[in-house]
Amino acid sequence: MAEEKQKNANFISLENREKLNVTGVFDVDSFDEHSIAAYTDYGQLNIQGEQLNIKHLSVESGDLVVEGIITGLIYTDNRPRESFVKRLFR
C-alpha cells in the first residue's frame, strides 16, 4: 500500500489588500509586478495585482510575503516543472 505524503499547512492572510502572508510555499515559479506563481501542497497559488513585490521568501520555512495591490488569488492543481531557483542557478 502506498504511503500518502503529509501535506504542509497552507495559511493565507491578506491585510487591506496590500500585504499578503502565505505559509506552506515550497517554490515560486515566476513573478513580475502583475502576477506571482507560488506552489503549495494544495496546488499552484496565482497571485494577481499591481505593483507586486516579494518582500520575503523562504522555501525552507515556507513563508512568502507579498506587498502591492492584490486583486486576485486563484488556486490551480498544476505542479512546477522545475524549481525557479534551480533554473536560476543552472
Name the H helices within the chain.
84-88
For the chain, give the number of residues.
90
Residue 2 included in any domain: no
pLDDT at 82: 57
Q: Predicted confidence band at 86 (pLDDT cuts at 50, 70, 90)? A: low
Query: pLDDT (tens digit, 9 = 90+) per residue, 2-37?
Result: 555 677 889 999 999 999 999 999 999 899 999 999
Determine how many CB atoms are found less than 10 A away from the CB of residue 44: 17
- pTM (whole model) above 0.75: yes
Residue 49 included in any domain: yes
Q: Most distant CA pair in the chain: distance in Å?
A: 48
Residue 36 included in any domain: yes
How many domains would you assign to the chain? 1
CATH code (residue 42):
2.60.40.2000
Residue 5 included in any domain: no
Residue 39 included in any domain: yes
Range of the domain at 73: 12-88
